Structure 1
């Protein structure tokens, strides 16, 4: 079954469901009809005017008692009994006298008990050479025949019931067969119509797999489940196209950014190699400057590669845990003071616990402080505040022009005034991504009196949660 196409399975399941329903209805109809016919047959045998014991006994006294039907030219019919009904008189000793019909009704112990006055009227079924008979036996109401109490048995063939039931069974079987065939055809048509959107979706998926064209979209019609599936697929392909575009852009930008330090490294190394090859030693000051440049370029390459690795990590690899943000900030402050020894860094840090990744948060805060150190004038001041989940870093540098603020968190974007300074243009992108993963937000804006104000907001609490082992620092 699982190997069949979906539309074939739907058609088969529809046909089976209809077949079961029609078969159940046909069986119910057959049994109800059977019960009604049997009930009508029994009712016809119980009719009071069908059995006149006085007339029957009177006729038998005149014609005599015959245990079997007489010759064919004498039907022995009593005028008040239908010719489709057999009748006979049963004596208490078990003998019987034929009254009407083409065969004798077999006498049972129940009939003898009714004739002897030991049982009320009885309705039962007996088998005869001509087939099964439905028999109703009533007592003779005090009449005697040959000085014996009697009972009268009236019988009709069960074929009056079974023959119509047989015809009805064949009719219901034919209706069931046609119903199943019709249901299978309807199921196939419905499956084709219902699965047409799925076919379009399948064709689109196969086209994308074959051509890798993520710009294909499926038309969305209506608001049913297929429409929701089409909308979800379109959203997925749009997200994949955007992701591939960002990946291509990242590779292109990374290649562009890597080209500058690599070119500088190559030039410096070629100068050193030419000096060694020609035997013309560089002046000590030039050699030291050249080596310092090589070291700086190697450092810039290492930072750039680290930033690229950080941005390339999938979100699933980030494991969030309760982090004391004040301790991370203190660590970042120590690193900032080492990088800007001539700067005055004023810090005010209050306890605050957030859910995030400690290393990533530290890198983000260090990036913010590195920007402040980089753009602060010699002997300048940097203010750092952490209170109520809001971390602010304010420098007194040249600030960021208003037209450049929308681009500061883009990858590899660098202000024209800062392109001569070291950096990869990825630091603030890493800050934005890390803060977003922790459920917060970060903004940069001009500060009053000049400089830049960076505001980082992270949800959390001033104390660790009860189930976390971390405790506030003393």
Structure 2
């Protein structure tokens, strides 16, 4: 059984569809043909039985035939009138049939004897005559006026050819018509399969073209609203998304190379100066050497930060957040504030944090808050103030820096985008991109606005979550 199934599955889809259609039509045609044949047979037999019931046999002829049988007269030597029926006299104890002269005897059955004994009014059955012909037999009681002649019944039989011959012709016609229907259905199924699967062939060609050439600009024409059209739209959407993803990947690589080039060039220049000083034996003045070492340290720190941000964005699970937990946003903000104060000890950082619980990935959310605070610390003037507040699920960070021009606000969350005025400051341009992704994964929103008093106001709004129960000691 496994072999035919495997061979069937190995066939092309259009061939399988044509075979399935032909098989379904064959079953349907066979069922209809069988029902037609059976119905016709029943109707023909019913008409034949009705004709047998209407046959009238002269009572005197039956009596004479029975008397001849009782006297042992040779019936065939005394032929009676030619009739289209086989007439046979039956008694309750008949063992040898008493048949009309010139007709082949029909075996007497128990139902016939029961009619002769008065146990039944009539009986109808099919049997074979002595010459092998199939006969339809109707046995009824013999009447004398309104009374029944006891102990005697008469059987009237006709050949079943009246039924079998037209049935055989009908079966032959049904077989021919069914064969034509199945062949036509197979051809129609193959044509329908080819026509219906033409868009699938086009889609297959398109997929093979994309796999061969990596040309993601290919689009399939969409016609109608059926499943094929939906599949075509899905393919076009998929290739468009892949093209966008590839463009972003190429842009990410180009931007990463550009951002890496600056610290690497500066680091290379400083290292070459230090190496040349050691090779030539001409020492660099202490102040210049300290400045070079400080610059090398700063460039290495910037490289480490950039690489860390790239790793964060390139994580395989970057599109899917880690396990979400109910955490206190106020607790995360407090921890981030401690780190921000270490990075800007000369700044005044105020905090007004109301309790607010959210469902998020704790480590990612803390990094997002730290990035927002780092931006505020980096752009704040010396001895400036950074105000942090958490009210009603909205965390705001307001600095007194130069602010962001209105025309640059739409780009601040893009990867590697940096304001022209901030390109000389340390940073990778990835911090706010990581913030936006983390907040969106937590179901929140993040935005930057100009602060009324100058500077920038960053706001993070996250939906609340039920406060976790206190841990039992």
TM-score with structure 1 length normalisation? 0.91
1:16–1:66 Cα change, 3 Å: farther
Which stretch shifts more, 128-137 or 202-211? 128-137
Post-superposition, which runs of at least 4 consecutive aligned residues in structure 1 deviate over 4 A? 58-69
Aligned to 1:103: 104
Structure 1 vs Structure 2 CA RMSD = 2.4
Is the counterpart of residue 174 in structure 1 residue 181 in structure 2? Answer: no
1:37–1:296 Cα change, 3 Å: same
1:465–1:29 Cα change, 3 Å: farther
1:4–1:65 Cα change, 3 Å: farther
Aligned to 1:126: 127
- How many aligned positions are there? 458
Aligned to 2:89: 89
Q: Secondary structure at the match of 1:345?
A: strand
- Shift of residue 117, structure 1, vs aligned partner: 3.4
Q: 2:185, 2:79 → 1: CA distance?
A: 55
Is the counterpart of residue 52 in structure 1 residue 35 in structure 2? Answer: no
- Shift of residue 177, structure 1, vs aligned partner: 1.2
Match of 2:430 among 426, 430, 436: 426
TM-score with structure 2 length normalisation? 0.91
Q: How far does the alpha carbon of each residue in 1:362-413 deviate from its partner, in whole angstroms, 9 at most, with x for none?
A: 1111111111111111111111011221000001121111111111111111
Q: 1:333, 1:67 → 2: CA distance?
A: 134
Q: How far does the alpha carbon of each residue in 1:80-107 deviate from its partner, in whole angstroms, 9 at most, with x for none?
A: xxx3311132345525544365322333
Match of 1:398 among 399, 402, 426: 402
Which sections of structure 2, spanning at least 5 residues, go unmatched? 1-7
1:296–1:391 Cα change, 3 Å: same
Q: Is the 8 A contact 1:398 1:451 kept in 2?
A: yes
Which stretch shifts more, 329-338 or 101-110? 101-110
Q: Secondary structure at the match of 2:358?
A: strand
Which sections of structure 1, spanning at least 5 residues, go unmatched? none
Q: 1:431, 1:289 → 2: CA distance?
A: 33
Q: Secondary structure at the match of 1:139?
A: strand
Q: Secondary structure at the match of 1:41?
A: helix
Q: How far does the alpha carbon of each residue in 1:179-233 deviate from its partner, in whole angstroms, 9 at most, with x for none?
A: 1111110110000001001000000000000000001001010000110111011
Aligned to 1:464: 467
Match of 1:30 among 25, 29, 37: 37
Q: Secondary structure at the match of 2:313?
A: helix
Which stretch shifts more, 440-449 or 150-159? 150-159
Q: Secondary structure at the match of 2:138?
A: strand
1:67–1:2 Cα change, 3 Å: farther
Q: How far does the alpha carbon of each residue in 1:283-309 deviate from its partner, in whole angstroms, 9 at most, with x for none?
A: 111111110110000000000101111
Aligned to 2:138: 136
Aligned to 2:4: none
Aligned to 1:360: 364
Q: Secondary structure at the match of 2:9?
A: coil
Q: 2:68, 2:363 → 1: CA distance?
A: 124
1:409–1:141 Cα change, 3 Å: same
Q: 2:339, 2:207 → 1: CA distance?
A: 51
Q: How far does the alpha carbon of each residue in 1:9-48 deviate from its partner, in whole angstroms, 9 at most, with x for none?
A: 000000000001111111111111111112111111111x
1:113–1:404 Cα change, 3 Å: closer
Q: Is the 8 A contact 1:136 1:155 kept in 2?
A: yes
